[in-house]
Structure 1
Amino acid sequence: MPSWRIRIHAGWTRAGRIQADRTRTGPDQVSAAHESRPANALRIGVLGGGQLGRMLGLAGVPLGFRCLFLDPAADACAAAAGEVLQAAFDDEAAALALARRVDVATFDFENVPESSARAVEAVCPLYPGSKALGASQDRLVEKDLLSSLGAAVPPYHGVASRAELLDALDSVGYPAVLKTRRFGYDGKGQAVLRDGEDLERAWQQLGDSPLILEAFVPFQAECSLIGVRGRQGTTQGTTQGTTRGTTRFWPLTRNVHARGILALSLPGVFDDALQREAERIVQRLMDRLEYTGVLTVEFFLHQGRLLANEFAPRVHNSGHWTIDGAECSQFENHLRAIAGLPLGGTGMTRHSLMFNWIGGLPSRDAALAIDGLHWHEYGKQARPGRKVGHATLTAPSDAALRENAERLAALAGGQFPELLGSLLSGT
């Protein structure tokens, strides 16, 4: 059987994109040549070219890093931060071509096929590895893993047939949430079941896929903890004692969603006991997965305790505030970790609040007139439900943050005033 390789054309094409074509060749003809470059110019491969990849690439510039992205979209927004190899995520030949041009690789979303991740791992270091990627891609495997680590989770059951769904409902009861086990994000691939009519509609929509049924949680708040674990192999004290690999955590962040998509994130509002509880869970998960890089666990706060909902083996939307409001951003620290560099601090430098722009942008010029506003556009075409940018407000005091947040919410309109009111009131 002939093998395939991607031939990268020299030079740039439209929007800084490099093109790939396939030619039949034997394995002895595949070249892994790296161009000459400055000593610190580490080459980072990123599977994914969305806004998370874009922000990784931008964070790498001050470190002397250069990013090469793989993404199927002709208009991948990471093109603003580096070269983009346009190819499907399941194109293992393209993944190999990327791996041969870089020193270390990562990914910017967890639905990269595990086969492509393994293809990259065979050629260059991939952080986090395919083990973490595979665990995060299946909600049932994910829940089993979190539960095995001692994390409290909502009651759940795997569902492979309608009969199993009915049995699971007998155990969990209404209301419940039916989800596909794989490839769900931002509220996609799930349905809330409140009665038999909901069950029938959901089964028609989702029944062709392996499923998981979870108890509906009437939570007090949604929150997330983002941590970063280095690959130095050093030892550092934590709330659990000591662990291999330096690990640091940003403040636990309260999140508000609109139609299943993150709308607002407010860090530093939970007490130390909840912070330590969340850190213990994330630390155990990182240790079990032998993790390198940034990892996020999303929680429900229910009756005063944390219930682990899911984890993301990557930089996370709820951590965008760290670019402007923390000692070192999640993006820079992820790059530091996978490059084997010392990790940066994760403390808040100012009171911060992130607004996610979904489906369109408010007036940039009017927003920039608000004190402490940091504007981030992704260069994406606006469409309903699409994340096209964010803004982070920073302020020297909680009172100043609230005042400016109310101004920005009024400017943005839509659901933002109501969502912000809920966030700031703690309801």
Structure 2
Amino acid sequence: MSDVLAPGSVIGIIGGGQLGRMTALAAAPLGYRCHIYTPEENSPASQVAEKTTVASYEDETALAEFAAAVDVITYEFENIPVDTVQRLSKLAPVRPRPSVLAVSQHRVAEKDFARDSGAGTAPYRHVTGLDQLCDAVSEIGRPAVLKTCRFGYDGKGQVKITAETDLAAAWASLKTDDAVLEGFVSFDKEVSVIVARGADGTALAFPVAENHHVDHILSTSTVPASIPEATEKAARATAVALAERLELVGLLAVEMFVTTEGEVLVNEVAPRPHNSGHWTQDGCATCQFEQLVRAVTGLPLGPVDVLFPTVMQNLIGNEADQWLDIAAEPHAKLHLYGKAEARPGRKMGHVNRIRVS
């Protein structure tokens, strides 16, 4: 096939974090080389890649030289200026394409997209000022959560709205004029699905992961999820439908709520590998990082069968200091990210504990 990149081709990865690191590690056995573009010196991804360009996302000269040196471009996080990705797309193939990134960067845009695609969401209203916030709270009710539309993650950029909350103070605390108010839903579980879609339109959804958060940060992902088969099918079908409507080439992570009535509601999407998909490295026939490489290079997608029931645990901050004990566990697979400094709330690595029957 003419659109398949041969081994020896170079994958350009925008972003130097752990997701880029693990993508580069997955690319190497398939014969691909990786070139990282990041503003960060000594990034986790650069430690394992063939080449790194350290420059700002606004450096047009560096971006042009990067695009000329690679055969395809992908990204490992979504907080990249869309203008940067659009500029690169004129110089080299970018997968997923810039329009997919634009949807994922804005919480109202992604919720509108999910609704327009036929997926359920929690009730929400776009809020651009205090008066709108007051109106939205009157419509949606309390409790609710007010979030910035851009750049929030792991609990950052949001405030809970309760019966006691002063709305003026809550609005001022976000320091933005672009926010979304989301109504609380009575949910039984938080789950996620990673779906891959190749250039030929083939889409495959990984099994559903059941997620547990602590202080707004993912703590564990468990596969198989303890949900009915019908819910599993609905969640995977929802993820595939979103990927197809986006005409995605690459990966899409879809975070969802399973309500107490068994309904699946889309919460957020991310067009990249996802923390909740790390279990695939040791518990699945194809890991999410290899699947991304396959999708963007035009290779056939790999099978997504569960090989071992797995619990992925994030190692946050000083939890990574337990590396020696974890390495001694017979069925624990340790993955460290090469970050020099442990800080509270910082993801330093993860461990996959597989169940061998």
TM-score w.r.t. length of structure 2: 0.95
Q: Partner of 2:99 in structure 1?
A: 131
2:311 aligns with one of 353, 356, 361: 353
- Is residue 9 of structure 2 the alignment partner of residue 49 of structure 1? no
1:192 to partner: Cα distance:
0.8
SS at 1:96 equivalent: helix
**1:316-350, CA deviations, whole angstroms, 9 ceiling, x for partnerless residues?**
00001101110010000100010000111111101
The equivalent of 2:221 in structure 1 is 265
Instruction: Give the deviation of 1:186 after TM superposition.
Output: 1.2
Asked whether the equivalents of residues 317 and 344 of structure 2 are also in contact (C-alpha less than 8 Å), the reply is: yes
Question: Which residue of structure 1 aligns with residue 249 of structure 2?
Answer: 292
> What SS does the aligned partner of 2:138 have?
helix
Partner of 1:383: 343
2:129 is aligned, of 147, 161, 164, to 161
Q: 1: distance between equivalents of 2:174 and 2:74? A: 31
Answer whether contact 2:134 2:167 (CA < 8 A) is retained: no
Kindly indicate whether the alpha-carbon contact (under 8 Å) linking 1:353 and 1:392 is maintained by their aligned counterparts in 2. Answer: yes
Q: Is the 2:41–2:54 contact (alpha carbons within 8 Å) kept by the matching residues of 1? A: yes
Q: Does 2:269 align with 1:301? A: no
Amino acid aligned to 1:40: P
* Equivalent in the alignment of 1:64: 31
Q: Answer whether contact 1:104 1:126 (CA < 8 A) is retained.
A: yes
Contact 1:47 1:89 in 2 (8 A): no
CA contact (8 A) 1:161 1:207 kept: no
For 1:92 and 1:323, how far apart are their aligned partners in 2?
A: 36
| Matches of 1:143 and 1:39, distance apart in 2 | 38
- Deviations 1:263-320 (Å, cap 9, x if unpaired)? 1000112222112211222122111111111111000111211111010000100001
- Give the gaps of 5 or more residues in structure 2: none
Structure 1 residue 396: Cα displacement = 1.9
**What residue is the counterpart of 2:355 in the other structure?**
395
Give the whole-Å Cα distance in 2 for the aligned partners of 1:76 and 1:97. 20
Q: Which amino acid aligns with 2:188?
A: Q
Q: Output one character per residue of 1:90-123: Cα deviation in whole Å (capped at 9) or x when no partner.
A: 3333222211100000000011110110111001
Larger relative CO (CA 8 A, sep 6+): 1 or 2? 2
* Range that drifts further, 147-156 or 367-376: 367-376
Percent of aligned positions that are identical: 41
Query: What pairs with 1:2-41 in structure 2 (closer than 5 Å)?
Result: 40-41=7-8
1:2-401 alignment to 2 at 5 Å?
A: 40-82=7-49, 83-231=51-199, 233=200, 245-269=201-225, 270-303=227-260, 304-360=262-318, 361-380=320-339, 381-397=341-357
Q: Determine which structure has more spread, i.e. the larger CA radius of gyration.
A: 1
CA contact (8 A) 1:90 1:112 kept: no
User: Is the CA contact (8 Å cut-off) linking 2:141 and 2:183 kept in structure 1?
Assistant: yes
Q: What one-letter code is carried by the residue in structure 2 that aligns with 1:366? A: D
1:215-259 deviation per Cα after TM superposition (whole angstroms, max 9, x unaligned): 02232111001111111x2xxxxxxxxxxx111111100001111
Residues 92 and 115 of structure 1 are in contact (CA less than 8 Å); yes or no, is this contact kept in structure 2? no
3-state SS, counterpart of residue 121 of structure 2: coil
Cα RMSD of the aligned pairs, angstroms, is 1.4
Unaligned runs of 5+ in 1: 1-37, 234-244, 398-427
Summarize deviations over 1:380-401 as a string: whole Å, max 9, x none. 121111111000011124xxxx
Q: Distance in 2 between matches of 1:152 and 1:67?
A: 38
Q: CA deviation at 1:71?
A: 0.9
In the TM superposition, residue 196 of structure 1 has moved relative to its aligned partner by 4.4
Tell me the distance in 2 between the aligned counterparts of 1:39 and 1:266.
35
Alignment of 1:405-420 (within 5 A): none
1:39 positional shift: 5.7
**CA–CA distance in structure 1, aligned partners of residues 265 and 304 of structure 2:** 24
| Whole-Å separation in 2 of the counterparts to 1:346 and 1:139 | 29
8 Å CA contact retained: 1:176, 1:215: yes
CA distance in 2, matches of 1:155, 1:93: 44
Count of residue correspondences: 348
Q: Distance in 1 between matches of 2:108 and 2:6?
A: 44
Secondary structure of the corresponding residue to residue 78 of structure 1: coil
- Counterpart of 1:376, as a letter, is H
Partner-residue secondary structure (3-state), 1:220: strand
Query: Shift of the alpha carbon at 1:209?
Result: 3.1
SS of residue in 2 equivalent to 1:349: coil
**CA gap 1:395/1:198 in 2 versus in 1, 3 angstroms:** farther
